[in-house]
Amino acid sequence: MNEFIDNFCEILEDTDVSTISSNSHFKELEEWSSLMALSLIAMVDENYNVSLSADDIRNAKTLEDLYNLIQSKR
């Protein structure tokens, strides 16, 4: 999980990464945008070899949700 959070923080530009935890609601971040979603999809594919669907992203609220989803798809 920590590694996933580190990877997620790497795609952030404007957010204070010290505020990011497994409980963070990533879609509520001010910089959450199409561009960031693109980066997230690319990061997950590159690091975990998992393809996310639009619904996967829609249904995940926290980073932990996303992480669990990725683990279930591996």
Residues that bind other proteins (CB under 8 A): 27, 32-39, 41-42, 45-46, 51-54, 57-58
Shortest distance, CB of residue 26 to other proteins, whole angstroms? 11
How many CB atoms neighbour CB 8 within 10 A? 21
> How far apart are CB 19 and other proteins at their closest, in Å?
19
Q: What is the CA radius of gyration of the chain?
A: 11
CB-wise, 2 or 13, nearer to other proteins? 13
DSSP secondary structure letter of residue 30:
T
Q: DSSP class of residue 62?
A: B
**Residue 2 or 61 having the CB closest to other proteins:** 61
